[in-house]
Amino acid sequence: MATRTQTRRARQLRRDMTPPERKLWAILRTEPFKPFHLRRQAPIGGWFADFLSHRANLVIEIDGDTHLPGSDCARDAALQKLGFETLRFWNSEVWEDAGGVAERILYELTLRYAPPQPSPEGRGR
């Protein structure tokens, strides 16, 4: 459960999303991604994930130009101990090929979580 401080910080991060995060979030809110219940700027293990699917145990990070990849090793290892895999993209990847990034995310989500399918007879039976 998130603390009040984490909740306030998550709200601030959602308001202050970077342009690449906003661009990707517009895609991740569309129909193909709905079964995976993606959240943005979600607190997890003392950090905030840019995007998170608890159903698929997947953290999605969008890294900027000033980001230091080596600094994420401990974080990724801690998240892995919590059962989450991390998928990372550079800002430039989102700007140049948001559709391709979204396809990769959908592929990874689908590998990790299969949404319930309606029965062949219909009406969920």
Is residue 118 in some structural domain? no
Distance in angstroms (rounded) separating the CA atoms of residues 113 and 76: 20
Phi and psi torsions of 9, nearest 5°: -65, -40
User: To the nearest whole number, what is the mean pLDDT of the chain?
Assistant: 87
Among residues 48, 51, 54, 63, the alpha carbon closest in space to that of 12 is found at 48
Is residue 122 in some structural domain? no
Is residue 95 in some structural domain? yes
- Going by pLDDT thresholds of 50, 70 and 90, the confidence category of residue 123 is low
The answer to whether residues 61 and 40 touch, using CB atoms and an 8 Å cutoff, is no
What number is the average pLDDT over the span 57-82?
84
Specify the pLDDT at position 124: 55
pTM (global) more than 0.75: yes
Q: How many structural domains are present in the chain?
A: 1
Please give the residue that has the higher pLDDT: either 65 or 30: 30
Domain that holds residue 56: 4-112
Is residue 120 in some structural domain? no
Per residue in 42-66, pLDDT (tens digit) is: 989 888 899 999 999 999 999 887 6
Q: What is the CATH number of the domain that holds 61?
A: 3.40.960.10
Specify the pLDDT at position 1: 63
